[in-house]
Structure 1
Amino acid sequence: MPSPRLAILIASVVREQRHLRDLTQCELAEAAGVSQAAVARIENGNRTPSITVLEALLAAMGVQLVVGVEPLDAHLDARMDDLAARPIAERIEALALDDLLDRLPDLPPVITGSTAALLQGAPVPVEALEIALRWQDSKLFTSWLENNYGRRWNARWSEWGGLWLEPEEPGEHRWSTTYGEIRATMCDELPETIEVRHGQRSYQVVPLVELELTDARAADLLRRYRDRRPTDAG
């Protein structure tokens, strides 16, 4: 299965090239011999196109595909360098994190994963709000998803939708909503947290040491960041 990173890169290239030529999705689709819905899915990063379709889209815009290689996950290093140069407040605002937290139902707002790492100062990429959610609160959360156009991630088809919203149903605990993407770690009891403050707001987050023990993805990012930090001289 193609990686989400590749889908995001292709989406960015197709969208950028289309905008440079002032084409609508319908115009590009007609020129490439595909449907507008297919162009929309590709540009949203919900579907990785076949090489044939991708080449048709690019050819319709007068460009062609060039294949290259780079060190594994080099894009993460570049992203971390960019994030390290930006204030935490700016990164929080870019994610619209506070707005999404304010709109969640009356649940204990325990933040985990890469989102918790960001709030503790680590310049790691954050793709979604990550929270710890108790199983006993799943019905309340499901009701909120229904009221906010929630769609569950369908890993089989690499797209949103086609699955029941309820966390109890099989599938990844990952949803898109009107206000952004949410990923949940379901648990019987919420993990221990610490409080961090930014501006006038406080957040309850899982501490970094615990993330490194319990969250494989966050742990990998934190180790990558730590290994790349220059050591102090002397």
Structure 2
Amino acid sequence: MSSTRLVTVLGAVVRHQRHLRDLSQRQLAALAGVDQAAVARFERGERATTVPVLERLLAAMDVQLVIGVEPLDAHLDARIDDLAARPIAERIDGLNVNRLLDRLTDFPQVITGCAAALLQGAPVPVDALEIALRWQDAKLFTRWLETNYGQRWDARWGEFGGVWLEPEEPGEHFWSTRYGEIRATMCDELPETIEVRHGGRSYQVVPLVELELSDPRAAELLRRYRGRQSASGS
């Protein structure tokens, strides 16, 4: 694991623990006796902190760091193995996809990215419903976000909120809503899809072969999954 990767992981750990306790960065900084700007930079993975400062941040939240080693990116392999052992219906429930799709009725969209791969049977980790959405429907999507308490991901601060909702504004196309998190791929025309069915419900998804050509994240996870299949002889 490179130092950059380690800083990113540690920053994410601190951010996750802070969110669990409903603390702002300013509140955590005050509890730990450090500068709020330093907490923000660390959570964003922009700057490493010293071990004593990291320990103070964690201790302020009544947790401590446990050190271990594992093969590179082993957490991804473990997650893939865990998902592969679960029925696909359980994987779909974990993504909360049906609840979101039942409410995304104001504009056409299709499922893409890792979410599309999961619906086609690939046990790849998914952190949000991923949809392809036309630019011409961006204003409809913005109104939907406003109605459903949407907050856009602010990469600068490493949290949701504080930036414009509109897809036209600069920033990552990633939002939290009252029904779950959504990543969007904005495009001029929706990509070609295939239909898959689970539990009596149909889903329009971008096919795996297209994901491997156009979506680097999904393609990498699909390669890892197939590599593990080959290694296990399945």
* 1:78–1:147 CA distance, 2 compared to 1 (3 A): same
1:21 counterpart residue number: none
Show CA shifts across 1:118-174 (max 9, x none): 000000000000000000100000001111111111112212122111111111111
Q: Is the 8 A contact 1:154 1:161 kept in 2?
A: yes
1:219 counterpart residue number: 219
1:69 counterpart residue number: 69
Q: Which amino acid aligns with 1:219?
A: A
1:122 counterpart residue number: 122
2:171 counterpart residue number: 171
RMSD, matched Cα: 3.5
Matched ranges for 1:45-194 at <5 A: 50-51=49-50, 52-59=52-59, 64-194=64-194
Q: Which amino acid aligns with 2:75?
A: H
- Which whole-Å CA distance do the structure 1 matches of 2:63 and 2:104 have between them? 44
Q: Which amino acid aligns with 1:171?
A: G
* Structure 2: tracts of 5 or more residues without a match: none
- Which whole-Å CA distance do the structure 1 matches of 2:183 and 2:61 have between them? 36
Show CA shifts across 1:20-54 (max 9, x none): xxxx979x96875579xxx9x9xxxx767945443
Correspondence 1:206 to 2:221 = no
- The TM-score with structure 1 as length reference comes to 0.80
* 1:208–1:150 CA distance, 2 compared to 1 (3 A): same
Q: CA deviation at 1:57?
A: 4.2
Q: Which amino acid aligns with 2:109?
A: P
* 1:225–1:156 CA distance, 2 compared to 1 (3 A): same
* Structure 1: tracts of 5 or more residues without a match: 19-23
- Which whole-Å CA distance do the structure 2 matches of 1:213 and 1:134 have between them? 20
Any idea what SS the aligned residue of 2:102 has? Answer: helix
- The TM-score with structure 2 as length reference comes to 0.80
- Which whole-Å CA distance do the structure 2 matches of 1:92 and 1:137 have between them? 26
- Which whole-Å CA distance do the structure 1 matches of 2:103 and 2:8 have between them? 27
Show CA shifts across 1:80-101 (max 9, x none): 0000000110011122110011
* 1:181–1:62 CA distance, 2 compared to 1 (3 A): closer
Q: Is the 8 A contact 2:109 2:190 kept in 1?
A: no
- Which whole-Å CA distance do the structure 2 matches of 1:189 and 1:105 have between them? 18
- Which whole-Å CA distance do the structure 2 matches of 1:162 and 1:13 have between them? 20
